[in-house]
Structure 1
Amino acid sequence: MRGNDAIHLGLMLLAFAASYLVPFELLLLAYVVLGPAHYFTEISWLHDRSYYLPHRGIAAVLAIIAVIAALIDNASWFGLAMWGALVVCAMLAATTSAIESMLLFMVAIALSAIMYSSESSLAVIGILIPTPIHVSLFTLIFMVLGAHRSGSRVQAALVVVYLLAVATILLLPPTAEIRISSFARVGQDYFGNVGPALGRLFGVPGLVLDTRLTSLLAFVYTYHYLNWFIKADVIRWTEVPKARLAAMAAASAASTALYFYDYAFGFTFLLALSLIHILLEFPLDSLALRQLGAAMQGAVRARYAGPIAASATRSRSTGTKAAKRATRSR
């Protein structure tokens, strides 16, 4: 195991243990302290790569949409903004031809119509895209892609450990009590709508932000942030001018301080900042999803290409022997 992989595993297990011991406190502190540092550094990294978009101006539009979405009170309109931004980014970053873009657009229109027919569906998708989908699902996709590209069994094992940690929290939820009561109220303000949204998605009525769900969110959020920081030597997000790095550190600290100074304004600011980084990452997420599909397709072809080729070789060999016997008989 390489040193970086060992650190990776250690941080994952640390996040898992903390999510059992202090789930409510960990969720809030991770979001408020680690979150801004992640947002600013990733936006900087994406900026140097033109946000994986054909034009950087599109990124400015996405940022404006994110700020407007943070101020929207209507859950359905918020969901429409999230879903529409994801679809447009997928069309721009993950398609390679006009035909693919048109097919994706038609599928998106059909899915949008289905969600619109059910008033709660757009609201549900709006809640889930910036929370479990972005924080957990796409993190898992990037982990799988990294393990596939490197061919590392250790990185593949990290994927398994991550899934086992999630399963353990769901099947054996912690019984930790809230040590700081105000954190429960703040957690409810931030993430209270995630429980009902997941309940509607999976048909589980009455699902709320209890200790189980809080522990799960605490783990996936904390690991999501830590996973970004420990990849510095892989994706090299620290390789920026020192002045910019210092500015990001100062902005991150100021964002955290703002929240503790004025809860209401800090809440709105962090939500907007979080949504900006999520929407700006949509093109990369879409591209990663396409690459994962291509990797899976290649793995399936490789798995079955060998037996098919061997069967064809045996058939040719059998035909050759039969032809020789027929020649001798003549």
Structure 2
Amino acid sequence: MRGNDAIHLGLMLLALAAAYLVPFELLLLAYVVLGPAHYFTEISWLHDRSYYLPHRGIAVALAIVAVVAALIDNASWFGFAMWGALIVCAMLAATTSAVESMLLFMAAIALSAIMYSSGSSLAVIGILIPTLVHVSLFTLIFMVLGAYRSGSRVQATLVVVYLAAIATILLLPQTAEIRIASFARVGQDYFGNVGPALGRLFGVPGLVLDTRLTSLLAFVYTYHYLNWFIKADVIRWTEVPKARLAAMAAASAASTALYFYDYAFGFTFLLALSLIHILLEFPLDSLALRQLGAAIQGSARGWHAARTATAAPRSRPASSTASKRAKQSR
């Protein structure tokens, strides 16, 4: 196991243990302290790669959409903004032809119509995309894709441990007490709508932000941020001018301080900053999803070809057949 993989595993287990012991406190501290540092550094990294978009001007439009969405009170319109931005980014970054773009657009229109007809589906999408879908599902996709590309069994094991950690939290709920009541109240303000959204999605009435769901969010958020920071030597997000790195450190510290200085304004600012980084990451997320699909398809074809080759009857060598015929004619 490489040193980085050992650190990776250690941080994942540490996040799991903390999510069990202090879920309410961990969730808020991860979001308020680790979150801004992640947002600024990832936006910087994406900027150097043109946000995986054909034109950087599109990124400006996405940032504006994110800021406007942060101010929207209507859950359905917020969901429409998130869903629409994701589809547009997928069309721009993950399709390779006009035909693919058109097919994706038609499928999106059909799904949008279904969600609109079901009433609350757009609101559910709006809640889950910037939370569990972004911090957990897409994190898992990048982990699986990295393990596939590297062919590393250790990285594949990390994927299994990550899934096992989530299953442990869901199947073995903890009984952690709230040590800082104000943190729990603020966590309810930020993530209180995730429980009902999951309840509507899976048909589980009365699902709320209880200890188990809070522990899940605390774990996936904390690991999502830590996973970004420990990949510095892989994706090289630290390889920027020192002045920019210092500016990012100052901006992230100021964002955290702003939250504790003025909760209402800090809440709005962090929400807008979080949504900006999420929407700017949509093109990369869409591209990764396409690449993972291609990898799965390629592996399935290889497995089928190998199975076919193994099952095919072996033909006898010509020399062996001729020899047997010669013996029979004697």
Q: For residue 31 of structure 1, what is the aligned residue in structure 2? A: 31
* Alignment-derived partner of residue 107 in structure 1: 107
Q: Indicate whether 1:126 and 2:126 are aligned.
A: yes
Q: Which residue does 1:256 correspond to in 2?
A: 256
CA distance in 2, matches of 1:264, 1:307: 61
Q: Give the deviation of 1:308 after TM superposition.
A: 1.4
Quote the residue 1:223 is aligned against. 223
- Do residues 286 (structure 1) and 281 (structure 2) align? no
Matched ranges for 1:172-191 at <5 A? 172-191=172-191
CA-CA distance at 1:307 after TM superposition: 2.3
Q: Which residue of 2 aligns with 1:271?
A: 271
2-structure distance, mates of 1:283, 1:107: 18
Deviation at 1:318, TM superposition (A): 5.0
Residues 208-265 of structure 1: CA deviation (Å, up to 9, x unaligned): 0000000000000000000000000000000000000000000000000000000000
Which amino acid counterpart does residue 148 of structure 1 have in structure 2?
A: Y
State the AA in 1 paired with 2:27.
L
Aligned to 1:12: 12
Q: Which amino acid in 2 is paired with 1:304?
A: H
- For residues 121-178 of structure 1, the C-alpha deviation after alignment (integer angstroms, 9 at most, x for no partner) is 0000000000000000000000001111111111110001000000000011110011
Aligned residue identity for 1:194: V
> Where does the alignment leave 5 or more consecutive residues of structure 2 unmatched?
none
SS in 2 for 1:119: coil
In 2, Cα distance between equivalents of 1:276 and 1:196: 24
**Alignment size in residue pairs:** 328
What does residue 245 of structure 2 align with? Answer: 245
% of aligned pairs identical?
Answer: 86
Note closer, same or farther for the CA distance 1:199–1:320 as it changes in structure 2 (3 Å cut): farther
The TM-score, its normalising length taken from structure 2, stands at 0.96
Separation (CA, whole Å) in 1 of partners of 2:21 and 2:282: 33
Distance 2:322 2:97 in 1: 51
The 3 A distance-change label for structure 1 pair 5 and 113 is same
Q: Which residue of 2 aligns with 1:153?
A: 153
**Could you tell me how far apart the structure 2 residues matched to 1:322 and 1:91 are?**
59
Q: Which residue of 1 aligns with 2:204?
A: 204
CA spacing shift, 1:323–1:104, aligned 2, 3 Å: farther
Q: Distance in 2 between matches of 1:292 and 1:144?
A: 8
Partner of 1:95: 95
Deviations 1:166-221 (A, max 9, x none): 00000111100110111111001000000000000011000000000000000000
- 1:16-61 superposed Cα distances (whole Å, 9 cap, x missing partner): 0000000000000000000000000000000000000000000000
Gapped regions of structure 1 (runs ≥ 5): none
- Distance (Å, rounded) in 1 between the aligned partners of 2:44 and 2:93: 19
Quick one: distance in 2 between partners of 1:120 and 1:322?
72
Aligned to 1:71: 71
Cα distance in structure 1, aligned partners of 2:322 and 2:271:
77
